[in-house]
Structure 1
Amino acid sequence: MTKQLFAVMATGLALMAATPALAQQGGSTVTAATVQGPILSFSVNEEVRSRPDQASVGAGVTTTAPTAVEAMRANAAAMDKLIAAAKARGIKPADIQTSGINLSPQYDYSNQGNGQPPRFIGYQVSNTVRATTGKIDDIGPLLDALVAAGGTNIEGPWFGMKDADAQLVGARGAAIKAAEAKAADYARLAGYRGAELVSISEGGSFGGPQPPMPYGRGLMAAEAKATPVEPGQVANTLTLSFQYRLVK
């Protein structure tokens, strides 16, 4: 490193000690100092990718009838078959949850071009449940069973981890080691003897649901093979924010 660079860094630190100015470079921040020394703030990210150990799928039915009562009754009967199919595939009742029910009037707008008002044609009901399972290899057959039971609205699957935080135990240690090395490097470059840890805070994304895979009746093979589903891996991201005090 040239003498000119050391001179620039020394000048910057001197200015920060004298004023409450803020200097930032490469995602790291050195704030104006207390009498003990300037504070260095930065974040370290660690990502752990793992095969998911649970998945959720959404399934529902849509029914239409002349009256709201008839539409609701028809939908309830269809949903009973759908829920029974999920239970038959080993889904526990506690892992089946209604995610949405919608009742709305339906109109025919095809005659509006002739100045006619919309024609009322009945009521439509949509009901959807979400089923969660730890049997990743059974997702394809589960989807097929829900469609065979009358499911017309299929969503998912969404993959995740039951205990995402446990996947990050090693990542925390790696992040702390990386932070120590980074702080020591800043201290050396700025002409300080070392850096003392002031605070740590944690954030991140822990095994959240992954984007659902497209699914529909058209994916079912003519020879009744189970729908192929590949779980891949889910990402668990840990973000640790650090503050170090540079010391002479």
Structure 2
Amino acid sequence: MKHTFLFAAAIAALSPLSAQAQTMSSSPVVSAGNTLLSVAAEGKSTRTPDLAVFNAGVTTQATTAGAALTENAQRMSAVIASLRKAGIAERDIQTSNLSVNPVYGQPKRLPDGSMEQQDPIIIGYQATNQVSVRQRKLDSYGKVIDTLVANGANQVNGPSFQIDNSDAAMDEARIEAMKKARMRADLYAKAVGLRVVRVLTISENAGWSPPQPQVMFARADMASAPKSSPVAAGELEMTVTVNVSYELGQ
């Protein structure tokens, strides 16, 4: 019985050490006499956007919430119908905002110049309905905006230019980043009289930098907008930063 107890105690004592050993082994380990080098490098690639995302909608105001929402629904139905007629697919039209909010009157100014102290008074209601739209034919983007304006839209914001499938462009940036990382590793190794033995770890941070979205129109007199709104898509820049650890040795 005594031997059984001692054996169990020994196993219990070794368990934390075993777990600790597993944790320590997850870090990069270099051979005796070798050196650990960590470098960061950035790779880039550019593409012409093939997708424009923008928001379009209608804001209406009336004395009652029901009246504001009814008018809004009628005008928004015309806006959505115009999007479909312009060739925008159903899957590329998605409601992004539907709200009804009170409109408060301004306090009155008293003869002495001060403002009348009173609880806010609701003088009407404002209804807003917006959809997020993905425009895939960029050469038609300006015409689509003009069509929306002509059919009652009084809020159009965007665009945010994107790439529908960025995998190939991101891979190009990754390859460039890894080449730069290896060149720097070789440079450091040569400077200290060593060579790169192997890669130990690789991690990345990736993303793209699209042109900043701009407000196209946001006013009540949108019927006076130009008949062909100019749009410049420019280029998107895909960026990948890699962090690579190398083992250096003789």
Residues 149 and 223 of structure 2 are in contact (CA less than 8 Å); yes or no, is this contact kept in structure 1? Answer: no
- In structure 1, what is the Cα distance between the partners aligned to 2:96 and 2:102? 21
Identity of aligned residues (%): 34
Give the equivalent residue in structure 1 for 2:238: 236
Q: Which moved more, 1:84-93 or 1:71-80?
A: 71-80
**Alignment partner, residue 214 of structure 2:** 213
Give runs of aligned pairs for residues 5-154 of structure 1, distance below 5 A: 35=32, 37-111=34-108, 113-154=115-156
Structure 2: which 5+ runs fail to align? 1-27, 110-114
Which residue is 1:164 aligned to?
166
Deviation at 1:40, TM superposition (A): 1.3
Letter in 1 for 2:89: K
> Quick one: distance in 2 between partners of 1:182 and 1:224?
53
* Alpha-carbon distance in 2 for matches of 1:110, 1:223: 35
Partner SS, residue 79 of structure 1: helix
Q: What TM-score, normalized by structure 2, do the two folds share?
A: 0.78
Could you list the runs of 5+ residues in structure 1 that have no partner in the other structure?
Answer: 1-30
1:88-110 CA deviation, whole Å, 9 max, x = no partner?
11000110011112221111114
Q: 1:204 aligned to 2:201? A: no
Say which of 179, 182, 201 aligns to 1:180. 182
Letter in 1 for 2:217: G
Measured after TM superposition, the shift of residue 220 of structure 1 is: 7.7
Residue 17 of structure 1 corresponds to none
Larger mean Cα displacement after TM superposition, 229-238 or 167-176 = 167-176
The total of aligned residue pairs comes to 217
Q: Which amino acid aligns with 1:186?
A: Y
Query: How far off its partner does 1:195 sit?
Result: 3.9
SS in 1 for 2:234: coil
Which is bigger in relative contact order (C-alpha 8 A, separation at least 6)?
2
CA distance in 2, matches of 1:220, 1:79: 15
2:227 is matched with 225
* Aligned 8 A contact 1:42 1:241 in 2: yes
**What is the alpha-carbon distance in structure 1 between the residues aligned to residue 225 and residue 162 of structure 2?**
31
Output the amino acid matched with 1:233. Answer: E
Look up the SS of the partner of 1:114 in the other structure: coil
Structure 1 residues 222 and 146, CA gap change in structure 2 (3 angstroms): closer
Q: 1:215 corresponds to which letter in structure 2? A: M
